[in-house]
Structure 1
Amino acid sequence: MSRPKVCVFLATATLGGMGKALVQFLRTGGLDMCDPVVVAYSFGEPCETEFTSAVRESGATMACLHQRWRYDPTLVAQALRIVRESGCAMLESHGYKSHVVCACLHLLTGLPWVAFVHGWTAESWKIRAYRVLDQLVLPLATRVVAVSESLGNQLWAGARRRMVVIPNAADPEEFDGTPGRNIRKECGIPEDAVVAGVVGRLSPEKGQLHFLRALALARGRQPALQGILAGDGPDAMSLREEARRLGLNGSVHFLGHVGEPLSVYRALDMVVLPSLSEGMPLAALEAMMCSLPVVATRVGGVPEVVQDGRTGALVPAADAERLAEAVTGLADDPALRARYGEAGRERVMECFTPGRRAERIVHLYQHLTSAVRA
């Protein structure tokens, strides 16, 4: 069967969830089974970011849309030129901006269009408006790929009828090496400390505020417990202020954005996901791949990954007391942490491998391109 040629549109500068999932696909079989052209965006700057560097390192072909204004109508004309010059036979989009661009391209060219949905946030009226725009545009796609069943159920009816579910994955090769940094040493964390960490963007929907409150409660019962927050985002300043207010100075450590997640996971005894909403939590998959137990909220696609009482503990969202109880229970029981961690790695290796994910995506490409040729 011929190799599908796909134009993949994604507007991101960092290797967050969407960017990391795409680069993982390229590195773990995607480039062997199809010919992607990854289209990034620049805003008055050269198209050189953490994301574009990772795409180029994977060996994939790169192209760039040059955005002059926040809402730049020339993006569609630029994208159309890239599609025609590259000879792409399929469109793929990630995120609301790329969904809109690909909807226009789909109508102009008739090419099949696959729209990936990774989840939505709701921290401002503007973001909520983008979510509505997404829901209005997605029914135009040939197929909509949701990263979890829960997320797919949030799609409006028109998009849900075109939906398939392809969950995220964790690559064992990324987490079996030697970390470049000793974060415990950098932070001055005592050897006998039990460390609970949150990995992800510092924004309201990720629930780090509830983690800090839970950590303050848990330290009253387990004084050796310390916390790490790895990531950056709009809530960074307010979370630092809340940590000071709770008296957590010296016992919670803000790392900012860390380009090498393995260093973070190797510094932890457990990973906490205090999210208020989730699509398919990549941080949970990565933690389980690193044989770490996970304490998470029972939201979105989290229960599709974390098995309560087998690979970790699930608690209600925005409940600092229940979160503190679960964290303390694991902090007090090293054997339980080891058992959950081992079961978590087994689960990821069985159900969430990047090779299987890449095969499912390329199979979808082949099915859609074959239908067009027929």
Structure 2
Amino acid sequence: MQIRPLYISPMGRGGVDFGIQNITRAVRQAGLRPELLRLPESYNFLPGLIPHSLPPGWWQGFDLVQGRSRVAFSLKATGLPVVTTVHHLTTDPDLQPYSSLAQRLFYRLVEARYDGLSVAYADAVVCVSRFTQRQVEQTYGRADSLLIFDGIDTAVFTPTPGLVRRDDGVPVAPGRIRLLFVGNRTRRKGFDLLPQIMDRLPDDYVLYYTGGFQGRETKPPHARMVPIGSPDRAGLVAAYQSCDILLFPSRLEGFGIAPAEALACGRPVVTTNAGALPEVVDEGQSGFLVARDNVAAYAEKVRILGEDAALRRRFAEFGREKVVAQFGYEQLGEGFRALYARLLGLG
């Protein structure tokens, strides 16, 4: 039997949106026949409408249905086995200081309820990191979740030959050392810290950053910060390969897709010793982990890497090897294939 999972995913503006695309690609490589049904972004906020907004029998022909924890509870109406993926819990107390009042109210009054219903109702709960797994047990009391790390396509996110930096993946800008930030321009991602970090770095360090996942494009907040828009997958690979170091001062991550992608491309990472990031980046082996909000420490670690090409290479080689072994599509696709076979009684 060739298993047919149906993935329901309202469009998003961050890593969770990329995560479901990675799952789809990985399980297809594992020999399954997945289908990804994208819905308007509004269904992230009103997921209870999903079963009533699609044509009658929309789930027919599939063996099971899957969605992130914000929406999965609404899929029980199909009568199929339901799998939910938990990427992070917005009820985490560490996130609250970096959220607006409106966000905190939504997290507490709405999203926490959605997450709780999905975790309670799902036939299987998948967590993308050990950190998230602990949160699910502590917050909702479910202790039988399955760990399947987020997956990176290591056949696409690859180092350049000899780890030589390419020059065609980012705009031309003066700078001996090129840093890269990938993520939304939010406080949770630590975007507000980047200008302060750049102030502490030499004048020949330049920082490229993505933009446009959320909100409007704005003027760069620092003279040596250069926006690169919202690159597609090929453009993102080119950006990693064209820079020397990923600077990712995120305050909290349920996994850390950008650091994993950077390591897959052979680029060391300076990030935060928080959330699931220490599961992705190994301190002193593939990058440096810094205390949350410690601007001076971020700058110090970036400069250490920037001034030591041999260290960058050593970190890059270790990081690439780890991502291939632990976070590639093989573990992602096989993890879900085995889960689905168990749920469907296929051994």
In the alignment, structure 1 residue 231 sits paired with structure 2 residue 211 = yes
1:122-149 CA-to-partner distances (Å, cap 9, x unmatched) read 5313441343123321211111111000
Displacement after TM superposition at 1:333 (Å): 1.1
Q: Secondary structure at the match of 1:187?
A: coil
Displacement after TM superposition at 1:300 (Å): 1.0
Alpha-carbon spacing, 1:208–1:70, altered in 2? closer, same or farther (3 Å): closer
Alpha-carbon spacing, 1:74–1:115, altered in 2? closer, same or farther (3 Å): closer
Alignment correspondent of 1:51 = none
Alignment correspondent of 1:175 = 157
Stretch of structure 1 that moved more, 303-312 or 350-359: 350-359
Contact 2:247/2:271, CA 8 A, preserved across alignment = yes
**What's the TM-score, normalizing by structure 1?**
0.79
1:188-216 CA-to-partner distances (Å, cap 9, x unmatched) read 234xx101111112222100111221121
Structure 2, gaps ≥5 residues long: none
Alignment correspondent of 1:317 = 292
Alignment correspondent of 1:59 = none
**Alpha-carbon distance in 1 for matches of 2:185, 2:315:** 26
Q: Secondary structure at the match of 2:345?
A: helix
**Alpha-carbon distance in 2 for matches of 1:311, 1:177:** 14
**Alpha-carbon distance in 2 for matches of 1:73, 1:316:** 39
Letter in 2 for 1:210: L
**Alpha-carbon distance in 2 for matches of 1:211, 1:224:** 16
Q: Secondary structure at the match of 1:9?
A: strand
Task: State which of 255, 261, 278 in structure 1 corresponds to 2:253.
Answer: 278
**Alpha-carbon distance in 2 for matches of 1:355, 1:330:** 31
Contact 2:211/2:229, CA 8 A, preserved across alignment = yes
Task: State which of 104, 113, 127 in structure 2 corresponds to 1:125.
Answer: 104
Q: Secondary structure at the match of 2:136?
A: coil
**Alpha-carbon distance in 2 for matches of 1:203, 1:41:** 24
**Alpha-carbon distance in 2 for matches of 1:300, 1:74:** 32
Alignment correspondent of 2:10 = 11
Alpha-carbon spacing, 1:82–1:31, altered in 2? closer, same or farther (3 Å): farther
Alignment correspondent of 2:180 = 197
Contact 2:186/2:192, CA 8 A, preserved across alignment = no
Contact 1:93/1:116, CA 8 A, preserved across alignment = yes
1:282-312 CA-to-partner distances (Å, cap 9, x unmatched) read 1111101111111010111111110000001
**Alpha-carbon distance in 2 for matches of 1:29, 1:144:** 17
Alpha-carbon spacing, 1:156–1:188, altered in 2? closer, same or farther (3 Å): same
Letter in 2 for 1:223: D
Task: State which of 173, 197, 200 in structure 2 corresponds to 1:188.
Answer: 173
Residue correspondences, number: 328
**Alpha-carbon distance in 2 for matches of 1:93, 1:322:** 38
Alpha-carbon spacing, 1:6–1:181, altered in 2? closer, same or farther (3 Å): farther
Within a 5 Å distance, the mapping from 1:91-106 to structure 2 comes to 91-96=65-70, 98-102=71-75, 106=76
Q: Secondary structure at the match of 1:367?
A: helix
In the alignment, structure 1 residue 348 sits paired with structure 2 residue 323 = yes
1:216-246 CA-to-partner distances (Å, cap 9, x unmatched) read 112xxx22111111133457667x47x2xxx
Alignment correspondent of 1:60 = none
Structure 1, gaps ≥5 residues long: 45-66
Q: Secondary structure at the match of 2:207?
A: strand
Identity of aligned residues (%): 22
Displacement after TM superposition at 1:70 (Å): 6.3
Higher helix share: 1
In the alignment, structure 1 residue 269 sits paired with structure 2 residue 244 = yes
Displacement after TM superposition at 1:180 (Å): 11
Contact 1:76/1:101, CA 8 A, preserved across alignment = yes
